[in-house]
Structure 1
Amino acid sequence: MDVFVIISQLLLYLCFSILAGSFLLMLVPNSHRPDLKIPKYLLLISTILVPIFAFVPVLDITLFIAPRLGLLEALKIVITTYTVGNAWIFTIIASILLVLVIALMRANEKRIYTLIALFLTLGLILTIAWSSHAGAMVPSTGIIGHFIHLTAISIWVGIVFIVGWYAVNHHNWLRFLSWFSKVAIGCLAATALSGILLTNVLVDGYVDSWMVSYGHGLLIKHLFLIPLIFYAMLNGLVVKYLISKNEIFNPIPWIRLEGFILFTIFAITAIFTQQSPPQGGHITNDAISPLFRLFHSGIIDSANSLSLVININIVFFFFLFLLLVGLIILSIYRKASIMITFLLSCLLVVSIYVMLMISVVIR
């Protein structure tokens, strides 16, 4: 069941991104973005799938308690008394309203319908934040932090995804970059600040949390921010320069590359947010992450803590890091396939990850 929950959360985040990105781009004047062809069925399907994917965690809890109470009674209790069930009811209501708005959307009144649809999309994101781990642990701070975090990343991913796959040309690209660069910076800042807020809520010590799967997920997710920021700068600065020198230069593959990195971060978030946060410092030997075990064996418990030290092995991985950075720059200069550049980016993250793991000392 855990696999289905992970997949459902990943697809749920993707649906939010499609909706948020589409509605925001519809509000942008045609002169400040490339021409887009966003099919209405994409918006309808994404909206219909939101309550379906949001129901999977509800079903997961229901199946857990069903052997004692029976399936229907367990489902009734989860929906009426559990936060995740209460939130799902509001998800259903907001999704139905959003389907109606999209279906009734007319070209001559498109702006007002789009504003309503964007408001309902934010409402859907709020229902997910309400039912999150952070929302359950510290309702006020957790819900606000999760809402800002998911909204910011959905807007960023959504714009990149829609422009990357549904733009029919790259007209007005410089005007598009002039405002999107500011939006991306704002989303990055909002994601970082809300991420710090959520980290303080969910974990007692960031480095110590690397011992368990939840903390490991946070670490890997944060490492992928390094190539993400690099490609965001590439799209905002280098691509802008190349277009100013050569109007026929096609920038769409590079925004797709940024989208691949963002989607990877979404996938990591979906995988590791299903793990229990190490709140309260209660870490047992059985709870240690299998990935952490690859580098550190032996008995580990709550009395242990982690610290970072520099050793000779780190020097090797640091030079490997520099080599991979050089290869990424070379692949961009040689206009290599974006998949090659993406794989090099993944290797870059792996090199930094291994460098950190071998520098960790258990005390």
Structure 2
Amino acid sequence: MIWFTAISDILLYVAFAFAAGAIALKFVPESQKPVLRDSRGLLVGSVAGIAVFSAAPVIELALFLENGEGFFKTFADTLLNYRVGNGWVITVLFSVLLGVTLYYNGSKQMAAGYAGLLILAVGFYSHVSTVNLWGGFVSHSIHFLALALWGGILLHVAWFAKETPNWSRFLDWFTPFAFACVGILLASGVVIMLFFVDLADYANSWALPYGQWLLLKHLSILPLLAAAMANGLLNKRRLYERAWLRAESLLLLLTLALTAFMSKEAPPHNVNETFRSEGAAPLLEGLKGPQYYPIDAGFAVSVNGLLLLVVSMVCLGLMILGFKRNLSGWFSVLLGVGFISSAYAGLMMNTIF
């Protein structure tokens, strides 16, 4: 079920971003944004996707609880008696209201209101809010809103722009807006992480499946930021670089995919206790052999590990150089994956547990 719920989460993130980006762009004057393809059908479909893909955790729980009474009865009981089921009912309700508003070309203010309520519902019924109700609710809602706005607008301009006569004016407001969203994402992401992982246990958590996905996610942020910097700050000629914008969106999708898989693992509130119940991360054992309790991570520098970290920095540098030398934006995606892979391997080779 991990693959089913993780892939559903990835599709949910994309659907949310598409809807939020389209609604946000309705508030931008035509003179300050590209000419976008008319995508009302796709927009309504993305809202329907929010309702459909957010059902995955409910289905997972119903299958777990099903004890011979029939799946549909168990599913109904889950909707009524469990927090995750209540959250899905609320999500479907607001999705219907938002979908109807968009289909009948309702006011942009009303659409934004329903989209905002959907994001608040995501925050309130999130995993982190079960750990700390109000702190988790606020931090997750802010995190998800910044992601949806930045990622959604990026998705539209990268994949659905027909003409870009106003590109310079678009960059005037979107570049600072995007970097503000990134700053909010990083700050709120740290807050959310600290609800699950004590800062002193960050390296220790790498022994666990959750910690491995968390490390990969954090590493994936660096090439994403490099692509965002190239598109926003290094574009001195202020040209529409479609391939590089699409590359940035794909690197963002990679980060979201790693986040989705991470969220399906047991968080290490206590690393050693989680290790005893969950065991070591399979990828870590494949690289370093069996791991044993108790976990006490430390760093031991190795030549191979250092070389891999150097390779990772070269990949990151080549991303920036590739933009300046007008190389294909798609090459930057490969370099981004190369950075993540080599940095991860280098850190593992320089870490003992």
Is the structural similarity TM-score above 0.5? yes
Return 39-48 or 304-313, whichever deviates more: 304-313
| Matches for 1:1-363 after TM superposition, within 5 Å | 1-67=1-67, 69-105=69-105, 113-204=107-198, 205-239=201-235, 241-243=236-238, 249-281=239-271, 282-285=273-276, 286-301=278-293, 303-362=294-353
Q: 1:322 Cα shift? A: 3.8
| Contact 1:18-1:46 within 8 A present in 2 as well | yes
Partner amino acid, structure 2, of 1:81 = N
SS in 2 for 1:105: coil
Q: 1:148 Cα shift? A: 1.4
| Contact 1:83-1:130 within 8 A present in 2 as well | no
Taking a change above 3 Å as real, the CA distance of residues 173 and 75 of structure 1, as seen in their structure-2 partners, is: same
| Contact 1:58-1:84 within 8 A present in 2 as well | yes
The separation in 2 between residues aligned to 1:250 and 1:157, in whole angstroms, is 17
Taking a change above 3 Å as real, the CA distance of residues 280 and 17 of structure 1, as seen in their structure-2 partners, is: same
| Contact 1:227-1:345 within 8 A present in 2 as well | yes
State the TM-score, normalized to the length of structure 1.
0.91
Q: 1:236 Cα shift? A: 1.3
Taking a change above 3 Å as real, the CA distance of residues 333 and 197 of structure 1, as seen in their structure-2 partners, is: closer
The separation in 2 between residues aligned to 1:145 and 1:329, in whole angstroms, is 32
Q: 1:99 Cα shift? A: 1.3
The separation in 2 between residues aligned to 1:341 and 1:72, in whole angstroms, is 47
Q: Deviations over 1:79-125 (max 9, x none)?
A: 1121111111111110111111112216xxxxxx1122122112212
The separation in 1 between residues aligned to 2:290 and 2:214, in whole angstroms, is 23
The separation in 2 between residues aligned to 1:127 and 1:176, in whole angstroms, is 31
Taking a change above 3 Å as real, the CA distance of residues 38 and 207 of structure 1, as seen in their structure-2 partners, is: farther
| Contact 2:226-2:316 within 8 A present in 1 as well | no
Q: Deviations over 1:116-162 (max 9, x none)?
A: 21221122122222232212222111122221112111111101100
Partner amino acid, structure 2, of 1:119 = G
- Give the structure 2 partner of residue 246 of structure 1: none
State the TM-score, normalized to the length of structure 2.
0.93
The separation in 1 between residues aligned to 2:155 and 2:187, in whole angstroms, is 23
Q: Deviations over 1:20-61 (max 9, x none)?
A: 111111110111111112310011101112111111110110
SS in 1 for 2:101: helix
The separation in 2 between residues aligned to 1:257 and 1:346, in whole angstroms, is 12
Gapped regions of structure 2 (runs ≥ 5): none
SS in 1 for 2:274: coil
Partner amino acid, structure 1, of 2:142 = I
Q: Deviations over 1:296-352 (max 9, x none)?
A: 323423x32212333322331233234323543453344333222211111011111
| Contact 1:199-1:206 within 8 A present in 2 as well | no
Q: 1:178 Cα shift? A: 1.4
SS in 2 for 1:242: coil
Return 311-320 or 24-33, whichever deviates more: 311-320
Gapped regions of structure 1 (runs ≥ 5): 107-112, 244-248
The separation in 2 between residues aligned to 1:96 and 1:265, in whole angstroms, is 29
- Number of aligned residue pairs: 349
SS in 2 for 1:168: strand
The separation in 2 between residues aligned to 1:258 and 1:73, in whole angstroms, is 44
SS in 2 for 1:279: coil
SS in 2 for 1:233: helix
Q: 1:183 Cα shift? A: 1.3
Taking a change above 3 Å as real, the CA distance of residues 93 and 297 of structure 1, as seen in their structure-2 partners, is: same
Partner amino acid, structure 2, of 1:229 = L
The separation in 2 between residues aligned to 1:183 and 1:250, in whole angstroms, is 17
The separation in 2 between residues aligned to 1:7 and 1:323, in whole angstroms, is 31
Partner amino acid, structure 2, of 1:11 = L
| Contact 2:21-2:156 within 8 A present in 1 as well | yes
Partner amino acid, structure 2, of 1:179 = W
| Contact 2:128-2:192 within 8 A present in 1 as well | yes
